[in-house]
Amino acid sequence: MAEGPKQQMPARRKARKRALDVLYEADMRARPPVEVLAGYLQRLEQPRPEHLGYAIGLIEGVAANQARIDELIDSYAEGWTLDRMPAVDRNLARIAIYELLYVDEIDDAVAISEAVELARQMSTDDSPRFLNGILGRIAEYATR
């Protein structure tokens, strides 16, 4: 029984990474995320990974709530505009904020630490601290 959560975390991290790939591509190409997702799914080999459903849920959820999510980023990113943020950070923040606000089964601390860990692997040296700060402030706001 103790193995369950350990097995879930890597799958969810992979799902977040896939969601990041699609959202990043959509951002860079100025295309709707759901349109980029459709192309991404066509290119995926069978059998599709088990975590794909969660990744699709993240992408569709971010796309459906992007105006609200971006508004929160603008409000809480002290000294940064959405356009000035590295694209990886911007999209990691979008995924984490979607999880904070709309995915009840994910603890806030998990959503934040996953975004910070992916930033550590994929973005600038300053990104983990930046994301931890903004996401912590948004999590505080969301629990009020």
CB atoms within 10 A of CB 71: 12
Q: What is the pLDDT of residues 26-81, one digit of tens each?
A: 999 999 999 999 999 999 988 888 999 999 999 999 999 999 999 999 999 988 88
The answer to whether the CB of 118 falls within 8 A of the CB of 17 is: yes
Is residue 1 pLDDT above 80, yes or no? no
pTM, whole model, 2 decimals?
A: 0.91
Give the residue-averaged pLDDT of 131-140: 96
Q: Mind listing the pLDDT tens digit for each residue in 66-100? A: 999 999 999 999 888 899 999 999 999 999 999 99
- For the chain, the 3-state helix, strand and coil shares in percent, each to the nearest 5, are 80, 0, 20
Whether 7 has a pLDDT exceeding 50, the answer reads no
Q: Which of 111, 69, 105 is nearest to 90 (CA)?
A: 69
Please report the pLDDT score of residue 4 as a whole number.
Answer: 42
Cis peptide before 47 (omega within 30 of 0): yes
CB 3 within 8 A of CB 10: no
What is the Cα–Cα distance from 95 to 109, expressed in whole angstroms? 14
Per-residue burial over 8-36, b = 16 or more CB atoms within 10 Å of its CB, e = otherwise? eeeebebbbbbbbebbbbbbeeeeebeeb
Cβ proximity of 54 and 17 under 8 Å? no
CA 12 vs. chain centroid, Å, equals 11
Question: What are the residues whose beta carbons fall under 8 Å from the beta carbon of 127, sequence distance 6 or more?
Answer: 86, 88, 89, 92, 119, 120
**What tens digit of pLDDT does each residue of 115-127 get?**
999 999 999 999 9
Q: Which pLDDT belongs to residue 143?
A: 76
* Domains of the chain and CATH, by start: 3-142 (1.10.940.10)
Q: How far is Cα 49 from Cα 111, in angstroms, rounded to an integer?
A: 21
The pLDDT value given to residue 10: 81
